[in-house]
């Protein structure tokens, strides 16, 4: 974080500054990382004591002090010996703090802020873009999927005076969430990847999801740039809802940065990238799944906008070994068994894409096994969407289906009702039973996909299978 005095922070947050015995004035400077988890505090850091669903951050101010925190942002004074700024709402204060820091760095330096949203692909695109831009200049991007009202500001607060690029992943579970993050970060470039049914239950339907994602570009300034997916009609329609200049990516021939000759294998995906006034470049992604080509194109479009030549950006992409932990992560290898652990998140679109990848990358003579758990937060769409996945598995001729957990059982029933299978689909109520079955069922040459929403926790089952078949 940039260097700020206690008084500067308190004034911006409209908070009441309470000094400790070692801080006689408000001119003490803090510049350590800002955290909401006391376990992440390092000496000189700032602890934000937010209230959670299960606990209260104020209970951990003492732990933050023990780890060397220099400042606590709290909603009521605490007895621990530390400088404190008392605010009415710690989460709102965190956002205002982040906005203050971004404004200060932007006014004094050459900071470019890139916001990324979409129903799928945010984290992968963020990682791809970070890999490209970090080769060019100092770049700050979210850790894991820090994309909400807490995670996004925490990322923003990591910038320094020398940061050239700030990438902010912007997620939402309701109307107004992305608009708030846009207000805080004021992106110079806003990227929209896809509008799908992820979190549709919370949004109330696909049209509400579209409205929420449109918030990314609706408030961009006229000198900003909106980067839109030309292959998604809903995203493409946002061109009429923004004052910013519009650039597009996709397989569509109208796209500014587009892909042709896409080939997916067990070792990754290749395609030819085309950009105006540049020679076409062959891109070799080590990340599994043709659906990641769209994410790569989004990253290449942003990079091109920032003056990075297509060939140099493509070379940087080729060094990215995986999208993220538990996202199309390739494990195993022993006995030619491939475990694809993609169980950190799941929406109908990402589930369908992962199953399609499973079918595409397996050799015709080898078996494919889909180990699937529930897709959460679909609301009234949940039943139909789980049915659709069950039918897709049969129609793509996946060799075995292993459904885990009562919330996902409908996929198992749908696959059986399709009438094409005879015992190829099995159901287990818990992960231990599924693991015991798979440990005995998997044979040399099998390719196994493990996919579910985070709440189903099948990522841990994927890790166990990966360890079982590791060299």
Domain 93-317 has CATH 3.40.1190.10: yes
At residue 420, does pLDDT exceed 70? Answer: no
Mean pLDDT of the chain: 93
CATH topology assigned to domain 329-468: 3.90.190
- For position 418, what pLDDT does the model report? 80
Q: Which of the pair, 200 or 408, is modelled with greater confidence?
A: 408
When the candidates are 3.10.105.10, 3.40.1390.10, 2.60.120.260, 1.20.120.550, the CATH number that belongs to 4-88 is 3.40.1390.10
C-alpha–C-alpha distance, residues 340 and 452, integer Å: 12
Nearest to 291 by CA among 248, 344, 348, 337: 348
Residue 201: predicted pLDDT? 54
**433-462: per-residue pLDDT in tens?**
999 999 999 999 999 999 999 999 999 999
Please give the order of strands across the beta sheet that includes 447-451: 329-332, 338-342, 447-451, 368-372, 400-404, 425-428
Structure token digits, residue 156: 């923003």
Q: In the structure encoding, which two tokens stand for residue 442, read together?
A: 């998997």
* Structure confidence by residue, pLDDT tens digits, 71-115: 999 999 998 789 999 999 999 999 999 999 999 999 988 999 999
**Looking at residue 92, what is its pLDDT?**
97
Average pLDDT score over residue span 262-272:
92
124 annotated binding-site participant: yes
Least trusted range by pLDDT, from 101-110, 172-181, 203-212: 203-212
Q: Is 121 annotated as a binding residue?
A: yes
What is the structure's pLDDT at 465? Answer: 97
Return the pLDDT at 412. 94
Per-residue model confidence (pLDDT) at position 325: 81
CA dist., res. 16 & res. 6, Å (int): 11
The Cα 222–Cα 230 span in angstroms is 21
List the one residue out of 306, 227, 314 whose CA is nearest residue 274. Answer: 314
* Confidence check: pLDDT of 202 > 60: no
pTM for this one? 0.88
120 is in an annotated binding site: yes
Residue 165 predicted with pLDDT over 60: yes
* pLDDT at position 430: 95
Least confident of 13-27, 122-136, 205-219: 13-27
- Domain spans in the chain, listed from the N-terminal domain onward: 4-88, 93-317, 329-468
Distances (CA, A) of 448 to 103, 254, 268, 269: 47, 37, 16, 18
Query: Any binding-site annotation on 119?
Result: yes
Which of these, 373, 362, 359, lies nearest to 435 by C-alpha position? 373
> For the ranges 186-190, 199-203, 266-270, which has the lowest average pLDDT?
199-203
**pLDDT at 323 exceeding the cut of 90:** no
Residue 192 pLDDT level (bands cut at 50, 70, 90): very high
End-to-end Cα spacing for the chain: 42
- 21-69 residue pLDDT tens: 766 678 899 999 999 999 999 999 999 999 887 889 999 999 999 999 9
Provide the sign of the torsion angle of the four alpha carbons 284, 289, 290, 291, taken in this order. negative
How many other C-beta atoms can be found within 10 angstroms of the C-beta atom of residue 30?
Answer: 21
pLDDT value at residue 203: 59
Three-state secondary structure of 109-160 = CCCEEEEEECCCCHHHHHHHHHHHHCCCCCEECCCCCCCCCCHHHHHHCCCC
Is 122 flagged in the annotation as binding? yes
pLDDT band at 399 (very low <50, low <70, confident <90, very high): very high
Upper half-sphere CA count for residue 291 (Cβ side, 13 Å): 21
pLDDT of residue 293 exceeding 80 = yes
What is the arithmetic mean of pLDDT over 378-392? Answer: 91
DSSP for residue 20: -
Q: How far apart are CA 255 and CA 173, in angstroms?
A: 29
Can you give the length of the chain in residues? 471
């Amino acid at each position: 974080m940039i260097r700020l005095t206690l008084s500067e922070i308190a004034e911006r947050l409209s908070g009441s500054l309470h000094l400790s015995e070692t801080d006689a004035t408000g001119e003490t400077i803090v510049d350590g990382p800002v955290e909401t988890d006391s376990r992440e505090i390092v000496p000189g850091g700032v602890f934000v004591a937010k209230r959670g669903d299960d606990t209260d951050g104020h209970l951990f101010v003492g732990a933050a002090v023990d780890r060397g925190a220099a400042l606590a942002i709290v909603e009521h004074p605490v007895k621990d010996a530390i400088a404190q700024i008392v605010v009415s709402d710690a989460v709102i204060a965190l956002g205002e703090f982040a906005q203050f820091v971004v404004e200060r760095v932007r006014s004094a330096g050459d900071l470019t802020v890139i916001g990324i949203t979409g129903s799928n692909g945010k984290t992968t695109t963020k990682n791809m873009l970070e890999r490209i831009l970090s080769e060019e200049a100092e770049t700050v991007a979210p850790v894991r999927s820090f994309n909400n009202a807490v995670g996004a500001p925490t990322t923003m607060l990591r910038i320094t005076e020398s940061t050239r690029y700030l990438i902010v992943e912007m997620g939402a579970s309701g109307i107004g969430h992305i608009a708030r993050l846009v207000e805080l970060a004021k992106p110079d470039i806003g990227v929209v990847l896809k509008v799908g049914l992820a979190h549709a239950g919370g949004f109330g339907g696909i049209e509400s999801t579209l409205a929420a994602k449109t918030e990314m570009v609706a408030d961009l300034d006229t000198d900003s740039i909106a980067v839109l997916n030309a292959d998604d009609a809903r995203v493409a329609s946002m061109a009429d809802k923004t004052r910013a200049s519009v650039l597009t990516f996709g397989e569509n021939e109208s796209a500014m940065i587009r892909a042709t000759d896409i080939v997916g294998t067990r070792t990754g995906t290749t395609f030819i990238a085309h950009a105006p006034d540049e020679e076409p470049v062959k891109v070799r992604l080590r990340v599994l799944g043709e659906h990641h080509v769209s994410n790569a194109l989004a990253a290449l479009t942003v990079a091109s906008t920032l003056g990075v030549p297509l060939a140099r950006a493509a070379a940087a992409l080729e060094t990215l070994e995986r999208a993220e932990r538990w996202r199309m992560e390739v494990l195993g290898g022993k006995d030619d068994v491939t475990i694809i652990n993609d169980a950190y998140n799941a929406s109908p679109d990402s589930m369908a894409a992962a199953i399609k990848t499973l079918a595409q990358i397996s050799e015709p003579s080898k078996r494919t096994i889909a180990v699937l758990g529930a897709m959460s937060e679909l609301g009234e769409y949940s039943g139909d969407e789980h049915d659709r996945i069950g039918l897709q598995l049969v129609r793509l001729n996946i060799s075995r289906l292993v459904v885990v957990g009562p919330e996902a059982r409908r996929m198992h029933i749908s696959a059986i009702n399709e009438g094409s299978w005879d015992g190829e689909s099995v159901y287990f109520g818990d992960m231990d039973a599924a693991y015991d079955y798979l440990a005995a069922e998997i044979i040399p040459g099998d390719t196994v996909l493990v996919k579910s929403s985070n709440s189903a926790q099948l990522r841990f089952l994927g890790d166990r299978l990966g360890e079982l078949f590791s060299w």
